[in-house]
Amino acid sequence: MEKYKLGDIATVEISGVDKKMKDGEKEIRLCNFVDVYYNWAITTARYDTFMFASANPNEISKFQLKKGQVALTKDSETRDDIGIPTYIADDFDDVILGYHCALITPNKTILDGRYLNALLHTDYAKKYFACNASGSGQRYALSVEALNSFPVPIIPLSEQERIGEIFSALDKKIELNRQINQNLEAMAKQLYDYWFVQFDFPDEKGKPYKSSGGKMVWNETLKREIPKDWDVRTIKDFMRIFTGKKDVSKAIPGEYKFFSCAPEPITSNEYLYDGYAILVSGNGSYTGRVSFYKGKFDLYQRTYACVLDENSHDISFYYYTLKYLFQPIYSGGRHGSSIPYIVLGDLADFNFAYNVKVKELFINTVKSMFDEQLSKQREIEELIKQRDKLLPLLMNGQVSVNSDLSLG
């Protein structure tokens, strides 16, 4: 298999576009380090998640995202976080690649972007980047020279395209499931807000309680009016809360999820809990972020798990309570200066308005949606496993691109 230096069959540009809004520059959307790091591909479905920034005409010309390109993380605090790629699957009019990243534009007559993206996800590429990164201790980086010198094994373009199509199909299934979950989440949020924030849950006649003149009383703890006969309760009244025992650096990769304060979990060779859990990030940039998981998992020492030892089907109510009441207040932390964080007491003592009958009605109403979210989450995990297993087989030629590969 012939190999070419990446710089001979593609253009590599290092972005310096930062997150600031500057006078005289054009407002744009910024695809930043995290967007690149956590996505196999960038599609227009992600457009609304990109942050606002500004850029000058030269930056826009160089770093506007176009279909067929590959973006890659260029520098970070650890060697393992550099050289992580994503494929640009659509054209964007006003989305620019941000700093700490590189943008690769392949020569389309020789190199397919989806094939390059798959290649850059392999251990072959990871070893190259780890060995060719400069820096030590505080930060590691890939130079333009190191990126341009990356040896790309070239196979016929038709085979490159077929490999790209296989991984593109898997990624589209993953993205579709994520969109379904986002829609289900939005529906549940709307209902939760209507019943537990606006207090327009169905009254005895099936009419919205507050809007129909239901009696409201002032609650000093919440500093607002709540429906008569409702209580104020705390998370610890219903849930057991615990945190992990190890730092991220001490996690040994394995078959179980390891949840930390990063946007996505890594893996661990052991598990701390098996079952439904609501997970709350305890420090860092994602402090206060709420998610849920069912299965065996391990936990970072600064991430909290909230579990129900009985009536586990009730977890949907507490998940939405923490997601839509707790997270907006505690997102970004309540303690610390350089590194924001929350403590277990912030979570355990969180107050919210409560009525057991309305809670039960809510749980029964959203049960199918919550179960569907969980099902789609599992499908995503299985598709990612399938992709990760297939990747080295295809790239090493152990599976033919002409094989009948079923994607489910």
Structural domain boundaries of the chain?
A: 2-153, 231-354
The pTM of this model reads 0.79
Tokens found for residue 53? 């920034």
Give 245 or 33, the one with higher predicted confidence. 33
* Band of residue 406 on the pLDDT scale cut at 50, 70, 90: very low
* Band of residue 404 on the pLDDT scale cut at 50, 70, 90: very low
Neighbours of 290 (CB within 10 A): 23
Same fold, 2-153 and 231-354: yes
d(CA 335, CA 327): 15
For the domain covering 231-354, report its CATH number: 3.90.220.20
Tokens found for residue 96? 């620019």
Q: Point out which residues pair with 10 in neighbouring strands.
A: 106
Give 400 or 371, the one with higher predicted confidence. 371
Report the topology of domain 2-153.
Adenine-n6-DNA-methyltransferase TaqI; Chain A, domain 2 (3.90.220)
- What's the pLDDT tens digit per position in 266-319? 888 999 999 999 999 988 777 888 999 999 999 998 899 999 987 677 899 999
Strand pairing category for 51-55 and 26-31: antiparallel
8 A C-beta contact, residue 104 and residue 6: yes
- What's the pLDDT tens digit per position in 131-165? 998 886 678 899 999 999 999 999 999 999 999 99
pLDDT at residue 277, rounded to an integer: 94
Strand pairing category for 151-154 and 2-5: antiparallel
- pLDDT at 408 > cutoff 60: no
High-pLDDT (> 90) share of the chain, %: 67
- pLDDT at 106 > cutoff 90: yes
- pLDDT at 360 > cutoff 90: yes
Tokens found for residue 325? 């009441």
pLDDT at residue 58, rounded to an integer: 94
Q: What CA–CA distances, in Å, run from 80 to 13, 35, 66?
A: 21, 16, 27
Instruction: Assign 3-state DSSP to the chain and report helix, strand, coil percentages, each to 5.
Output: 40, 25, 35
* Band of residue 400 on the pLDDT scale cut at 50, 70, 90: low
* Band of residue 403 on the pLDDT scale cut at 50, 70, 90: very low
pLDDT at residue 137, rounded to an integer: 64
The DSSP output letter for 322 is I
pLDDT at residue 114, rounded to an integer: 95
